[in-house]
């Protein structure tokens, strides 16, 4: 049976990562966290103190950029040119920088190339902002996962607190609003729902319920192959 490409899009804090990981595990598929790929590149930009307006330098490091996603005891590890940057890229600062670099056309072009290379043979659950619209427009199942801004900020706040970070809920909500505006307003591949995507609002819907709903769609798709 042909392996499918499952695309999950939506704003930050909607639950994409948790749901995508669960689906990938149940299906025996590869989990592709495209946001982590942008964060990894953003980490390099910050480490090398590269000006986002310096196209020549950005082009140079993009050509050298290799990103690998590997499962390690149920945890996704992110490698940038062979260096494990999994822990370094999970900060609010990196989140904001990743949102900024993702607005740049040359960055998105290179990331899409890397993402398509990973998903070329199918058997992937990919999540991000433009998976069903740009990266895999022909994906077998497309989901647009959403939740209210306050609920998404609360989830992000709890996640960061659980990592030992000192955060304030009102600041997290503000950062979430800023990121939403940037993701939806960018000129290149803005966050939007694919026409044929199934919309799921997870505000009052638990992870199990969301996974069940998507699995139903996947099984339907498999049944008509």
For the chain, what is the mean pLDDT?
A: 91
| Residue 222 binned pLDDT confidence (cut-offs 50, 70, 90) | confident
Kindly state the tokens that stand for 129.
């902002």
Q: Which helix (H) or strand (E) holds 17?
A: helix 16-27
Q: 167, 115 in Cβ contact below 8 A?
A: no
Separation between Cα atoms, residue 96 and residue 112, nearest integer Å:
20
The superfamily (CATH) of domain 5-223 is: P-loop containing nucleotide triphosphate hydrolases (3.40.50.300)
| Four-point Cα dihedral 77, 78, 84, 86, nearest 10 | -70
Asked if the model's pLDDT at residue 221 lies above 90, the reply is no
* Residue 220: other Cβ atoms inside 10 A: 10
Q: What is the largest CA-CA distance in the chain?
A: 51
Please tell me the predicted confidence (pLDDT) of residue 160.
84
Asked if the model's pLDDT at residue 190 lies above 90, the reply is no
| Residue 107 binned pLDDT confidence (cut-offs 50, 70, 90) | very high
| Residue 164 binned pLDDT confidence (cut-offs 50, 70, 90) | confident
| Residue 19 binned pLDDT confidence (cut-offs 50, 70, 90) | very high
- The residue extents of the domains of the chain are 5-223
Of 124, 127, 116, 123, the residue nearest 210 (C-alpha)? 127
Q: Report, as an integer, the average pLDDT of 139-166.
A: 90
Alpha-carbon Rg for the chain, nearest whole angstrom, is 17
Q: 12, 128 in Cβ contact below 8 A?
A: no
Kindly state the tokens that stand for 85.
């940057």
What are the residues whose beta carbons fall under 8 Å from the beta carbon of 87, sequence distance 6 or more?
none
| Residue 127 binned pLDDT confidence (cut-offs 50, 70, 90) | very high
Q: 103, 94 in Cβ contact below 8 A?
A: no
């Amino acid at each position: 049976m042909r392996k499918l490409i499952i695309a999950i899009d939506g704003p930050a804090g909607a639950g994409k990562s948790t749901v995508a990981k669960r689906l990938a595990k149940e299906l025996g598929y590869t989990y592709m966290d495209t946001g982590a790929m942008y964060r990894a590149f953003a980490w390099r930009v910050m480490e090398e103190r590269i000006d986002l307006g310096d196209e020549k330098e950005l082009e140079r490091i993009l050509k050298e950029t290799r990103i690998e996603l590997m499962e390690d005891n149920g945890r996704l590890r992110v490698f940038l040119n062979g260096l494990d940057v999994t822990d370094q890229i999970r900060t609010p600062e990196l989140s904001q920088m990743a949102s900024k670099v993702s607005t740049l056309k040359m960055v998105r072009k290179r990331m899409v190339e890397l993402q398509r290379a990973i998903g070329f043979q199918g058997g992937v659950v990919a999540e991000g902002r433009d998976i069903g619209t740009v990266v895999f427009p022909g994906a077998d199942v497309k989901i647009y996962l959403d939740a209210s801004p306050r609920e998404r900020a609360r989830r992000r706040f709890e996640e960061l607190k659980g990592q030992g970070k000192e955060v304030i809920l009102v600041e997290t909500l503000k950062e979430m609003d800023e990121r939403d505006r940037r993701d939806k307003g960018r000129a290149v591949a803005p966050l939007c729902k694919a026409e044929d995507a199934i919309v799921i609002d997870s505000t009052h819907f638990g992870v199990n319920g969301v996974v069940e709903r998507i699995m139903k769609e996947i099984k339907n798709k498999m049944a008509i192959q």
